Structure 1
Amino acid sequence: MPSPASDPAYPVGLRLTGRRVVVLGGGQVAQRRLPALIAAGADVQLISPSATPSVEAMADTGEITWHRRRYEDGDLADAWYVLVATQNRDANTRASAEAETRRVWCVRSDDADAATAWTPATGHSAGVTVAVLTTDAQGRDPRHTAAIRDAVVEGLRDGTLVARHHRARAASVALVGGGPGDPDLITVRGRRLLAEADVVIADRLGPRDLLAELPPHVEVIDAAKIPYGRFMAQEAINQALIDHARAGRTVVRLKGGDPFVFGRGMEEAEALVEAGIPYTVVPGISSSISVPGAAGIPVTHRGVAHEFTVVSGHVAPDDERSLVDWAALAALRGTLVVLMGVDKIGRIAQTLIAHGRAADTPVALVQEGTTAAQRRVDATLATVAETVVREGVRPPAVIVIGEVVRVGPDAPVAPGQHPVT
């Protein structure tokens, strides 16, 4: 018989790969529990005359085996674990008794005190499984248990709850996209890796506020101040990544936006591969989409723009180093997003007009997007050069060109016009 409800449960992790697990009932309880059993590699046998559409889809894809009938004595033979979740209390009681006879751990959704096992509130973060069980049988509160689980997992994910590694780890580097500037817009994984870092090599455009949260022992290096010597700037950064990793440190290369969107992340990755240093890439939210969105500008909108193009404006259209086909861009009807183009926007606008883009095409410049200093300045292709000078627009700023600039409640409205909706 199950132990008295007053006794605490003994926590244990079950390894169910390839082992028979029986689930009785195909309703909402099964729908919630089945994904974890499938992820554990269990051989899941569902016994139920009916199932929710989501559970039925699991059977259709072969993730579980569905026996479309009611529970029968003997169904738990050779099982390692059983979840009893039918609406028939008599069937639940009989199945629980069979599990007891066969010494199979049994979870009951209708009567936890009659079960031989309880399902904890679980969560996962970076290879760690957090499982929370309430020990006070008289005061079991599933919502409180889940809240504890959520708080622990969230702390591990965002780096506010840090458990340092005590065993030596292999040298490694993480190329982390920090997002457009708001520290809340870095990914969960990026924030966690920052919390685990020994060394952070940061760009000027990375989310600076996150650096203040790092523990005192973390060495923060401003990439703009690395002594270059005989190296080019990027070569010096590559070498710093390699040197710190070879010294046994966990290194995070923190970039603004995404590492592979004009971030030279692949150059760093190639240097690490050549040096034999393992690395991981953590994508970031690109400013090309997020900054316009933060300013109320959608880069696509039904009936207005069905495509958007992101280009670098760090070299002018007439510069022989430019790889952009500005004539082709001028012929497009969609949205054009220009990064790193504030000081070149005059020549960019002239080139687009010369190749057929209307001079009255709306333009928005969003400076310091997603931060407290964000501001939006509107113009047209014909007026943007003088507007940038008059308004003192400075980098970093994302430039949006196209009719989407006139979409939304914050859009400028010219005399006789109405906002596009």
Structure 2
Amino acid sequence: MAEHPAYPVGLRLTGRRVVVLGGGQVAQRRLPALIAAGADILLVSPEATPSVEAMADTGEITWERRAYADGDLADAWYALIATSDPEANTAASAEAERHRVWCVRSDDADAATAWTPATGHSEGVTVAVLTTNARGRDPRHTAAIRDAVVEGLRDGTLVAPHHRTRTPGVALVGGGPGDPDLITVRGRRLLAEADVVIADRLGPRDLLAELPPHVEVIDAAKIPYGRFMAQEAINNALIEHAKQGKSVVRLKGGDPFVFGRGMEEAQALAEAGIPCTVVPGISSSISVPGAAGIPVTHRGVAHEFTVVSGHVAPDDERSLVDWPSLAKLTGTLVILMGVDKIGRIAETLVAHGKSPDTPVALVQEGTTAAQRRVDATLATVAETVVAQEVKPPAVIVVGEVVTVGPDGAV
């Protein structure tokens, strides 16, 4: 029998009796999947690990605290034999054979009638990997294959085309601060499945080169605006492509809802009746300082951090930022889109009580190969930006955390 490969099949165990013999580490690893399958689980074991005991305490399984006895498998559809008693395992295996119950044995795969594959999951798909026979079983090899397939499905490097009709819609995907490795797993997968990608200039551009050739990539900065405002034109482009039955990804830098106008786009899609999925991204407000060695909070230095937009100056009537109040805070101030306004921002903070010697760091092109950090103070930052030719995009960090070193010293 061992010369023939195992026949793969998916067991539908919802509401069906599954008997597990032994409450040790094997049961602890296997029980969660059986619970998730909706099985009616009976555990027979004198003892159990704390995790297994907790499953019984919460009612996820029924636990009979005793050793195996003949007849325990009579009403079972599936059995997992994993006791530390070889004689009990052999007897239970024989009972399973008599009652035609598919049986997995943790101590002797050759004596089992079923094997447990290495399994993984990705967006509604279960990947199961089996070796061809018991003698050639290599659990590490099958697990490695499982991991490679699941990771490929999750990050989009392994793309399986959808042959059934997909529901058209738009995904607002936060691409992270710039490094293509910092996009979320879900974001990368949705990119791989997209028909159209409308990308921001500050999105992770390297990801676009990985897209299949049939994907239409549209630079949001180059959408013809005509009589429309820029954002309105982008909204219309999203709606137009989605109404054509296409899967659209709006790739944005950072997080869609952190100064990314993501909600404006979500609202426009909702009004047009277009399904919208929001995929959060790593915001540059915390990731870029971190990449430059700056913690936005640090014990004994800063107990809070505040993120503000600097795209309009403090004296601009359009500004919604309470700069005088920010000057009184003792924590960290993170300013996005503020390179060209940092001189007036610094003056305002100092005028309302912030020390001119407050450290400032400007991190340009954070998390990318072009990243560089320029340090200054509130008193010198305006001239430093000019002298060092700091250009957007750059994240500005104001506060004592700028001087915190790797050893924790300030």
TM-score range, shorter chain: over 0.9
Match of 2:386 among 370, 389, 402: 389
Secondary structure of the 2:135 match is helix
What is the one-letter code of the residue matched to 2:271? Answer: E
Unaligned stretches of 5+ in structure 2?
none
Give the corresponding residue for 1:420. Answer: 409
User: How has the CA–CA distance of structure 1 residues 66 and 363 changed in structure 2, closer, same or farther, with 3 Å as cutoff?
Assistant: farther
Alignment of 1:137-216 (within 5 A): 137-216=134-213
1:353-375 Cα offsets, whole Å, 9 max, x none, are 22222221111110000000000
Give the corresponding residue for 1:415. Answer: none
1:177-206 Cα offsets, whole Å, 9 max, x none, are 111100111111111111111100000000
What is the one-letter code of the residue matched to 1:324? Answer: V
Match of 1:64 among 61, 65, 68: 61
Secondary structure of the 1:228 match is coil
Cα distance between partner residues in 2 of 1:385 and 1:170: 51
Match of 2:374 among 370, 374, 377: 377
What is the one-letter code of the residue matched to 1:315? Answer: V
What is the one-letter code of the residue matched to 1:269? Answer: A
Give the corresponding residue for 2:402. Answer: 405
Match of 1:314 among 311, 315, 326: 311
TM-fit CA distance, 1:169: 1.5
TM-fit CA distance, 1:314: 1.0
1:198-219 Cα offsets, whole Å, 9 max, x none, are 1000000000001011111110
Cα distance between partner residues in 1 of 2:58 and 2:51: 11
Unaligned stretches of 5+ in structure 1?
411-418
Match of 1:356 among 347, 353, 358: 353
What is the one-letter code of the residue matched to 1:420? Answer: A
What is the one-letter code of the residue matched to 2:254? Answer: G
Give the corresponding residue for 1:252. Answer: 249
Alignment of 1:299-310 (within 5 A): 299-310=296-307
Secondary structure of the 2:20 match is strand
Cα distance between partner residues in 2 of 1:225 and 1:287: 24
Match of 1:95 among 77, 84, 92: 92
| RMSD between superposed Cα atoms in Å | 1.5
Cα distance between partner residues in 1 of 2:64 and 2:308: 55
Cα distance between partner residues in 1 of 2:54 and 2:348: 54
Query: Do 2:109 and 2:134's aligned partners in 1 also have CA atoms closer than 8 Å?
Result: no
- TM-score normalized with structure 1 length: 0.94
Cα distance between partner residues in 2 of 1:367 and 1:302: 26
Secondary structure of the 1:378 match is strand
Cα distance between partner residues in 1 of 2:382 and 2:51: 55
Secondary structure of the 1:201 match is strand
Secondary structure of the 2:114 match is coil
Secondary structure of the 2:119 match is strand
Cα distance between partner residues in 2 of 1:302 and 1:129: 43
- TM-score normalized with structure 2 length: 0.96
Give the corresponding residue for 1:414. Answer: none
Would you say how many aligned residue pairs link Structure 1 and Structure 2? 410
The percent of aligned pairs where both chains have the same amino acid is 87
Query: Do 2:171 and 2:279's aligned partners in 1 also have CA atoms closer than 8 Å?
Result: yes
User: How has the CA–CA distance of structure 1 residues 50 and 305 changed in structure 2, closer, same or farther, with 3 Å as cutoff?
Assistant: farther
Cα distance between partner residues in 2 of 1:253 and 1:352: 36
Query: Do 2:6 and 2:133's aligned partners in 1 also have CA atoms closer than 8 Å?
Result: no
Q: Does 1:217 align with 2:214?
A: yes
Cα distance between partner residues in 1 of 2:170 and 2:192: 14
TM-fit CA distance, 1:39: 1.8
Cα distance between partner residues in 1 of 2:288 and 2:297: 14
What is the one-letter code of the residue matched to 2:243? Answer: R
Give the corresponding residue for 1:298. Answer: 295
1:204-254 Cα offsets, whole Å, 9 max, x none, are 000000101111111000000001111111111111111111111111110
Secondary structure of the 2:405 match is coil
TM-fit CA distance, 1:126: 1.6
Q: Does 1:26 align with 2:19?
A: no
Cα distance between partner residues in 2 of 1:353 and 1:64: 64
Secondary structure of the 1:139 match is coil
Cα distance between partner residues in 1 of 2:47 and 2:336: 55
Match of 1:79 among 76, 80, 84: 76
Cα distance between partner residues in 2 of 1:217 and 1:25: 53
Give the corresponding residue for 1:334. Answer: 331
Give the corresponding residue for 1:134. Answer: 131
User: How has the CA–CA distance of structure 1 residues 104 and 212 changed in structure 2, closer, same or farther, with 3 Å as cutoff?
Assistant: same
